[in-house]
Chain A
Amino acid sequence: MWQWFHKLGSPRWFYQISGRVLPWLALASVVLIVSGAVWGLGFAPEDARQGNSFRIIYIHVPASFLALAGYYVMAVAGAVGMIWKMKLADMVMVAAAPLGAALTFIALFTGAVWGKPTWGTYWIWDARITSMLVLLFLYIGIIALSRSFSTRETSARACAILALVGTVNIPIIYKSVDWWYTLHQPATIKLTGAPSMHPDMFKPLLVMILGFYCFYALVLLLNTRTEILQRESRTTWVKQLAQSK
């Protein structure tokens, strides 16, 4: 068990193993996302109230899911890197930050575009969208902090601490924004009611969520591999890799 853990911590081993998984992940995410998108765009039934604009849900909800989950991935990686001094975990954390921020941006953008036909305005201070905006700020803070340090090790430690503080805060932020919203805007249209959705609407959503998970894993691996190459560029195995290509 410990040996396995140690092995996992070796960037070289990780680079080789992840190289084998990559094609499958890429295939899975392309197939799932393309089929989910076609299904959602063309074959899922129209929503009675919102019409076709509701089809944005198939991007918006998976992106929101992963934007939030991505923050936890980042925080956990940061904690592991800090506690066990595992370099690889630091690299995963660094790799997760811009990816999470991009997904948060997608969630925000699709939410705004969805809002226009639904509410008649691009921006509404809906609880979900407001929390998403705060999450984007948290991501931006981490990215900004990670770029300010002179050494990667210190930068990773600092980001891990910030990510952990953020993680503790996120549930409080979400709850408080929810509460704030009910205070100011009693029950308007709920953006998503996934459980009460018609099964024909729900199935493509499931496919899309799965596809987004694969996509997240794919890009996280790709980013981590890049980070590995960059940090280990002085080691012989990376030099050999460079020359073999």
Chain B
Amino acid sequence: MFQFENFDAFISMGGHGPYVWGAYGLSLTIMTWLALAPLRRQRVLLATLRQRIHAQDQKGGGQ
């Protein structure tokens, strides 16, 4: 059962809103970043690797 009478009460949390939402907000932001950072690093890694292989191939072909 929803504990709050309306959406405004849910946001204000009886005066504790900033604390609760702040804690949840920052935590979830950090956690999202934790999950996305390795994915981005993997993409960058593979891209540089691809570039390096490409460069090597061209050099090999030129000779």
A contacts B: CB pair < 8 Å: yes
Q: Which residues of A contact B (CB under 8 A)?
A: 26, 33, 37, 41-46, 51-53, 55-56, 59-60, 63, 99, 102, 105-106, 109-110, 113-114, 116-117, 215, 218-219, 222-223, 225-226, 229-230, 233, 238-239, 241-243, 245
Distance in Å: Cβ of B32 to nearest Cβ of chain A? 10
Chain B CB within 10 Å — which of A51, A53, A102, A116 has the most? A53
Q: B1-27 interface mask toward A, CB cutoff 8 Å, 1 = contact, 0 = none? A: 111100000100111110110111011
CB contacts (< 8 Å) of A113 on chain B: these are 19, 22-23
B61 in contact (CB, < 8 A): no
Whether a CB of chain A sits under 8 angstroms from the CB of B55 is no
Name B's interface SS. Answer: helix
Residues on B with beta carbons closer than 8 Å to the beta carbon of A52: 13-17, 20
- Nearest residue (CB) in B for A241 is B46
Known: A222-B35, A242-B50. A42 touches B4 (CB 8 A): yes
The closest CB in chain B to the CB of A224 belongs to: B38
Tell me how many residues of B have a C-beta within 8 Å of chain A.
Answer: 32
- List residues of chain B with CB within 8 A of the CB of A60: 23
Instruction: Return the chain A residue nearest B12 by Cβ.
Output: A52
In the complex, A55→B23 CA distance in Å? 10
Shortest Cβ distance from A83 into chain B, in angstroms? Answer: 27
- Chain B residues contacting A229 (CB-CB under 8 Å) are 42, 45-46, 49
Number of A-B contacts (CB under 8 A): 102
Complex contacts, A106 vs chain B, CB 8 Å: 26-27, 30-31
Are B42 and A56 in contact (CB-based, < 8 A)? no
Question: Contacts A51-B14, A106-B30, A215-B31: A43 and B19 contacting too (C-beta < 8 A)?
Answer: no
Q: What are 10 inter-chain pairs, A to B, with CB distance below 8 A?
A: A46-B14, A52-B20, A56-B20, A59-B23, A106-B27, A106-B31, A215-B31, A222-B39, A241-B46, A245-B50
With A229-B42, A241-B46 as contacts: A46 and B31 at CB distance below 8 Å: no
**Which residue in A37, A43, A241, A243 is a CB contact (below 8 Å) of B24?**
A37
Interface residue B41 (Cβ < 8 Å from any Cβ of A): yes
Residues of A within 8 A of B1 (CB): 43
Q: Contacts A44-B3, A230-B45 hold; do A117 and B30 have CB atoms under 8 A apart?
A: no
| B24 contacts across to A, CB distance below 8 A | 37, 41, 56, 59
Task: Select A239's contact among B16, B38, B53, beta carbons within 8 Å.
Answer: B53
Q: Complex formed: what's the CA distance from A242 to B55 in Å?
A: 14
